[in-house]
Structure 1
Amino acid sequence: MDHALRLDRVGRRYGARGPWILRDVGLDLPAGTLTRVEGANGTGKSTLLRLLARLDAPSEGRVEGRPRTAYVPERFPAALPFTPVGYLCHLGAIHGLSRAGAGKAAGEWLERFGAGGFARTPMGRLSKGSSQKVAVAQAFVAAPDLLVLDEAWTGLDTEARGELERAVAERTAAGGAVVFVDHDPRRLAGAADAVYEVRDGGVRRRAREEAVVPDGPCAVVEVRGAVGAELPREVLRRAVSVGSGEAGVRRIAVPVSHSDVVLRALLDARPPWHVESVRTEEGR
């Protein structure tokens, strides 16, 4: 599997004699995967994300890979001398988009996160919640190969939080790598391909069976396929559970945030799967 980024024995400290925040960290971010980072406050999660986003350089070790990267920091600098649409167009141009392409993408992403109504309002006049919508919208403008999210859901309303989860699922389905920190253990629970814990200056990968199982709503999709057909790998990757019903019906439970991606994968398969029903169930 191709890797968007890899850390090889990376350490980070501030100052030649400062204490080590992180030491001897090895971490792979394969393309097309979702990675969750956990840990108590002050353990170095944000430092790790800044290293992944290449905003900080390691004090030792190597960061391998040069993906197009977008980053949503824990604290977004809202008082920038731009309007939201101007800021997104500026970032799009930096990433190589044409003026027209950047403008189109900016408008689409601001609308998608509910920020279209204040697209031309000076950013210094926006509320904290509105600023956060701009922060997440800017991360998707140039279709990044690596998306780094540091508490990106904090401050968003319910609709925008759900939209961000859907956008993350779409980005990984398109081959991008996404790594995120969030204080809510239910955030994208069961959807991550890997979970890492930052503790005592190190980063440890948790075994898959330790991962949190979502206790929120799941989409349950019932499908029927051709004789001998196998479910697409994209579907199996994202499924919380897969079962069989009567007359060859397959029953697939996935996090609601990934339901659109799963349905698209089923319908795009060759031969396509016939979707018989989709419903939401609580507390799987």
Structure 2
Amino acid sequence: MGRTGDSGSDPADAAIRLHDAGRRYGLRGPWVLREVGLGVRAGALTRVQGANGTGKSTLLRLLARIDAPTEGRVHGRPRTAYVPERFPAALPFTAADYLTHMGRVHGLTGAAAARRAHEWLDRFGAGAHARTPLPELSKGSSQKVAVAQALLAEPGLLVLDEAWTGLDAAARDVLDRAVAEHTATGGAVVFVDHDPRRLAGLADETYEISGTGVRRRTEQTAPAPAAAGPTVVIEVRGPLGARLPPGLPGTAEPGPDADTRRLLVAAPQSDLVLRELLTASPPWHVVGVRAAEERR
């Protein structure tokens, strides 16, 4: 049986790589995954998909180093944060104390961990639950804590196993934007989600599990931003002849005046683009932001 993946799936610059990795449970248990070779690049968004029970969570646990491979090797040790499919909420902490504790585990000082704990709770709309014991939280609030603990320490590798499940619409949008921000600043993200529209068109790599193997989806290319789910039009004005900051996601076109530009950006990346424009030197003036369907 040959190694799964292809020559492009095991890059030398990967933050973490699986080499001929396999996993089974028990000495004589069936193989869940076998001879898997893939790499996750720094700054890349990687989607894992497959039918229920095919081993998606097993693959994510190998990448997060929660489980060791039964055979093969894992190369690379980025600082990793992991959101499991089921968050163990019955822990003797309040929401803020748990996040502060996890921040310190990830190497933050106590003060920095506490500050970021409250910042992420507020960002997810759960600030009112900071002093609530974890076992008393609703499913949705508990999931917000689970996601916040992974984001607050800015890990090199973020592994999300159905992390959007249980979140309300506003919190799902926050997580979408957090993922875009994380990859834009050089972090790697690997995720599984049951909704095929989740971050549609934004993944740099997509792997599909079939049988015990993992294959990179090379036959698909990412659609243009206009077709990649909800998009936003950002109209900006800058000094005459000024260039937009390099590396902005989306597409740019001339605006109605010589000093204006229109940017068509996937909605999850809009906050990142606005921040880059406003902090550029010299900064760009934001004329307007609207949904793409409102362009006419």
In the aligned structure 1, how far is the partner of 2:29 from the partner of 2:98? 36
Q: Which residue of structure 2 lines up, in the alignment, with residue 81 of structure 1?
A: 92
Structure-2 change in CA distance of 1:26 and 1:250 (3 Å):
farther
Structure-2 change in CA distance of 1:253 and 1:281 (3 Å):
same
Structure-2 change in CA distance of 1:259 and 1:78 (3 Å):
same
Question: What displacement does 1:242 show?
Answer: 4.5
Q: Does 1:217 align with 2:225?
A: no
Structure-2 change in CA distance of 1:199 and 1:212 (3 Å):
farther
Deviations 1:202-223 (A, max 9, x none): 1111137344675642012244
Q: Does 1:193 align with 2:193?
A: no
Q: Does 1:7 align with 2:18?
A: yes
Q: Percent identity?
A: 65
Q: Does 1:116 align with 2:116?
A: no
Structure-2 change in CA distance of 1:25 and 1:135 (3 Å):
same
Question: What displacement does 1:75 show?
Answer: 0.7
Q: Which residue of structure 2 lines up, in the alignment, with residue 23 of structure 1?
A: 34
Structure-2 change in CA distance of 1:12 and 1:142 (3 Å):
same
Show structure 1 runs of 4+ deviating over 6 A. none
Q: Which residue of structure 1 lines up, in the alignment, with residue 246 of structure 2?
A: 232
Structure-2 change in CA distance of 1:283 and 1:188 (3 Å):
farther
Q: Which residue of structure 1 lines up, in the alignment, with residue 117 of structure 2?
A: 106
The TM-score, its normalising length taken from structure 2, stands at 0.85
Structure 1: give runs of 5+ residues left out of the alignment.
Answer: none
Structure-2 change in CA distance of 1:224 and 1:193 (3 Å):
farther
Alpha carbons 2:202, 2:228 under 8 Å: kept = no
User: SS of the residue aligned with 2:198?
Assistant: coil
How many residue pairs get aligned? The number is 280
The TM-score, its normalising length taken from structure 1, stands at 0.89
Residue 55 of structure 1 is aligned with which of 66, 74, 85?
Answer: 66
Question: What displacement does 1:244 show?
Answer: 4.8
Structure 2: give runs of 5+ residues left out of the alignment.
Answer: 1-11
In the aligned structure 2, how far is the partner of 1:10 from the partner of 1:64? 11
